[in-house]
Amino acid sequence: MAGGPQDGQRIRRDFYAPRAHPAIRADDGKVCCPVAMHVELTHAVCAVVHPDACDAQVERAVDTMMGADASAADRV
């Protein structure tokens, strides 16, 4: 998650529609929306952004998302 009280945290959620864009409510009650998503056959990874996130936090979240997805693909 980028920004807000959970900045930098990885949050795992199970969604029944893996191609759906999940919205998540942060600990402070604000709705956070995905800005980038990468979909594989078995899972999807997305960067979720808090409304108060700054540009650097968003960029770091997207970079982390892509790095995590690449490392998961290496393990398959």
Identify whether the C-beta of residue 11 lies closer than 8 Å to the C-beta of residue 61. Answer: no
The residue with greater pLDDT, 1 or 15, is: 1
**Alpha-carbon span 35 to 38, nearest angstrom:** 11
Indicate the pTM of the whole model: 0.68
Q: How confident is the model at residue 73 (pLDDT cuts 50, 70, 90)?
A: very low
pLDDT greater than 80 at residue 56? yes
pLDDT tens column, 5-42: 888 888 776 666 656 666 788 999 999 988 888 777 77
**Residue 52: pLDDT band with limits 50, 70, 90:** very high
Q: Could you tell me the residue ranges of all domains in the chain?
A: 1-76
